Amino acid sequence: MTVPSILIADDESSLRLLLCEVMQREGYEVESAVNGEEAVQKARERDFDVVVMDVRMPKMDGIQALREMKRINPALTVVMITAVENQETALEAVRQGAYDFFNKPFELAEIRVVVRRAVEKRQLLRQISSLESRLLDRLSFDRIIGRSDSMQEVYDLIGRVVSNDVTVLVTGESGTGKELVAQAIHYHSARRSKPFMSVNCAAIPETLLESELFGHERGAFTGAVGMKPGKFEAAEGGTIFLDEVGDMPLSLQSKLLRVLQEREIVRVGATKPVKVDLRVIAATNQKLEAMVAERSFREDLYFRLNVLPIHIPPLRRRRADIPMLVAHFIGMYNPRLNRGMQGVEDDALAALERYDWPGNVRELENVIQRAMVMSTGSMITLEHLPAHVRSAKAADSTLSSEGVPGVDNAMLDDLSVPLQEKVERFAEQIEVRLIKAALQKANFHRQATADLLGISRKSLHNKMVRYELFAGRPDTTDGDV
């Protein structure tokens, strides 16, 4: 264990030498200073456990030195001593952050006890800080698993933005881990000690989202019995993560734009703006460029959010990461399920690598958890996997002579259509086909359909409106359509 370090600062040489000798006998490593300026310089050069300092010193008095030391290191523990019995001086020292205050003359036994307690407090705070740092690390990068080239690009981008306070737009399908990326950015940035607030814009009704984000004043609407700060104010100094930002109503998009431009918010029912200092990270599984073209998303807001985009690849595009993810989930759920699973048999792992994972990493986690519950041995076998995973066939990387089922294959040979336009048309046609199939499978129950597709119910509704999929649906009785 590191020997605690003490700084003794006093212009009275006899007392300074006495205190140094006493603290050395206590087993501390001791340095001394003869005035306030020297004490501040030493505190700047070294992180002492405790400083014992006189109030009246030449060049810079103890109160000024205390104030400067606290500016350099707010966690520094300082014990003040003085020959003048002045209550106001003592109160000022405490206001500036002094740990304790002694009047001369004092008992050496008493100051030994106080210094010992101050050292214990300082070391405890260091241990807590170390544990917090390790915990924050586990809450961020350790939960983003993968060594594939595409994930290495993600790690590289995260590393670039943690030290630059820019707005980030995280894109990717549902279940790819967009919030984990946002947490990694926050917990490795200078804002790590401040709040991380997460808001799912698709999960909160439009009528409540504005109040949730911006807060409200008393009487702003029925039920507003008092002033309530919103998530933007709650995230002061930290980071706010706006998930599914593509589902944010146009009426609120303009207000979000003001937050990004002016760094201020206006509560519902208020007229005076409130300044906020925070970082905005947004995420979506939708194509915001297409939404901008359709005028369902503001172009100026899109450019403000898309300062530094990070795209999370779907799991089917990084199958090489599946064994590592499987091992991670087994290790994570072993203590939770009181199991001692050792791994996955080869044929089961091959099935996991063949499957396309429309629900991405989230779906894989659920499958592994289920398999661990079903298994009675130490290995996950093929029979422990769901039938649709077991029966998955290997993906064919080439187009057959029949083309792509469910899309307009005549367009493949039409050289007048640009490549990007072909890709967008194919994507829309495939998306329509997948939504129709999910609707049929869920008997047109919208929440069940959204769950099958891994999107929010609101996103499903918007897509059904866009593709005119309401016509011709069967009658239902539960109202969930």
Q: Report the chain's mean pLDDT, rounded to a whole number.
A: 84
Please tell me whether residues 185 and 259 are part of one structural domain. yes
Q: Is pLDDT of 243 > 90?
A: yes
Per-residue model confidence (pLDDT) at position 475: 41
Which two tokens mark 44? 């700047």
CB neighbour list of residue 435: distance below 8 Å, 6 or more residues apart: 449, 453, 460, 463, 464, 467, 469
Give CA–CA dist 195/233, Å, rounded.
Answer: 10
Please tell me whether residues 84 and 220 are part of one structural domain. no
Q: In sequence order, what DSSP letters do the residues of 271-324 get, joined into one string?
A: -S-EE---EEEEEESS-HHHHHHTTSS-HHHHHHHTTEEEEPPPGGG-GGGHHH
Give CA–CA dist 89/301, Å, rounded.
Answer: 53
Q: Which of 356, 390, 424 represents a domain boundary (last residue)?
A: 390
pLDDT bin (cut points 50, 70, 90) of residue 337 is: very high
The more confidently predicted of residues 416 and 338 is 338
Q: Is pLDDT of 461 > 60?
A: yes
pTM beyond 0.75: the answer is no
Per-residue model confidence (pLDDT) at position 101: 82
pLDDT bin (cut points 50, 70, 90) of residue 271 is: confident
Are 228 and 215 in contact, with CB atoms under 8 Å apart? yes
In a domain, 402, yes or no: no
User: What SS3 class is residue 29?
Assistant: strand
CATH for 373: 1.10.8.60
Please tell me whether residues 327 and 435 are part of one structural domain. no
Are 345 and 394 in contact, with CB atoms under 8 Å apart? no
Please tell me whether residues 306 and 320 are part of one structural domain. no
CB neighbour list of residue 41: distance below 8 Å, 6 or more residues apart: 33
Which two tokens mark 172? 């990717």
Per-residue model confidence (pLDDT) at position 71: 85
Please tell me whether residues 125 and 257 are part of one structural domain. no
**Domain of 424?**
409-466
In a domain, 475, yes or no: no
For residue range 129-138, what is the model confidence (pLDDT) as tens digits? 666 555 554 4
Which two tokens mark 324? 């590592």
Give CA–CA dist 361/176, Å, rounded.
Answer: 6
Give CA–CA dist 244/358, Å, rounded.
Answer: 18
Out of 2-6, 62-66, 401-405, which region has the weakest mean confidence (pLDDT)? 401-405
Per-residue model confidence (pLDDT) at position 312: 93
- Average of pLDDT values for 125-146? 61
Please tell me whether residues 417 and 385 are part of one structural domain. no
Which two tokens mark 139? 């809450």
Please tell me whether residues 183 and 306 are part of one structural domain. yes
269 alpha-carbon distance from chain centroid: 30
Are 38 and 9 in contact, with CB atoms under 8 Å apart? yes
In a domain, 38, yes or no: yes
Per-residue model confidence (pLDDT) at position 408: 53
CATH for 275: 3.40.50.300
Q: Is pLDDT of 403 > 50?
A: no
In a domain, 401, yes or no: no
In a domain, 404, yes or no: no
Per-residue model confidence (pLDDT) at position 30: 92
Please tell me whether residues 173 and 297 are part of one structural domain. yes
CATH for 31: 3.40.50.2300
In a domain, 213, yes or no: yes
Which two tokens mark 206? 């439009």
Per-residue model confidence (pLDDT) at position 133: 54
Long-range contacts of 252-258 (CB under 8 A, 24+ apart): 252/209, 252/210, 252/213, 253/297, 253/298, 253/301, 254/298, 254/301, 255/210, 255/213, 255/214, 256/213, 256/301, 257/298, 257/300, 257/301, 257/304
Q: Which of 312, 334, 353 represents a domain boundary (last residue)?
A: 312
Please tell me whether residues 193 and 216 are part of one structural domain. yes
Are 351 and 389 in contact, with CB atoms under 8 Å apart? yes
The more confidently predicted of residues 360 and 458 is 360
In a domain, 335, yes or no: yes
Residues 474, 477, 481, CA angle at the centre, nearest 5°?
60
Out of 68-82, 87-101, 252-266, 388-402, which region has the weakest mean confidence (pLDDT)? 388-402
Per-residue model confidence (pLDDT) at position 348: 94
Per-residue model confidence (pLDDT) at position 250: 92
Give CA–CA dist 197/184, Å, rounded.
Answer: 13
pLDDT bin (cut points 50, 70, 90) of residue 102 is: confident
pLDDT bin (cut points 50, 70, 90) of residue 387 is: very high
Please tell me whether residues 325 and 246 are part of one structural domain. no
Q: Is pLDDT of 246 > 90?
A: yes
Per-residue model confidence (pLDDT) at position 259: 93
Per-residue model confidence (pLDDT) at position 187: 87
In a domain, 51, yes or no: yes
Per-residue model confidence (pLDDT) at position 168: 95
- Average of pLDDT values for 77-90? 77
For residue range 295-323, what is the model confidence (pLDDT) as tens digits? 999 999 999 999 999 999 999 989 999 99
Are 341 and 379 in contact, with CB atoms under 8 Å apart? yes
Q: Is pLDDT of 404 > 70?
A: no
For residue range 6-53, what is the model confidence (pLDDT) as tens digits? 999 998 899 899 999 999 998 899 999 999 899 999 988 888 889 999
- Could you give the number of structural domains in the chain? 4
pLDDT bin (cut points 50, 70, 90) of residue 416 is: low
Q: Is pLDDT of 87 > 90?
A: no
- Average of pLDDT values for 144-158? 87
In sequence order, which ranges of 73-177 are alpha helices (DSSP H)?
A: 87-95, 108-138, 149-161
Cis peptide before 335 (omega within 30 of 0): no
- Average of pLDDT values for 159-166? 88
pLDDT bin (cut points 50, 70, 90) of residue 423 is: confident
Per-residue model confidence (pLDDT) at position 474: 47
pLDDT bin (cut points 50, 70, 90) of residue 3 is: confident
Per-residue model confidence (pLDDT) at position 229: 87
Q: Which of 263, 279, 312 represents a domain boundary (last residue)?
A: 312
Tokens 């703006």 sit on residue: 273
Please tell me whether residues 51 and 93 are part of one structural domain. yes
Please tell me whether residues 221 and 122 are part of one structural domain. no
The more confidently predicted of residues 186 and 124 is 186
User: What SS3 class is residue 68?
Assistant: helix
- Average of pLDDT values for 255-283? 93
Question: What percent of the chain has a predicted confidence (pLDDT) above 90?
Answer: 42
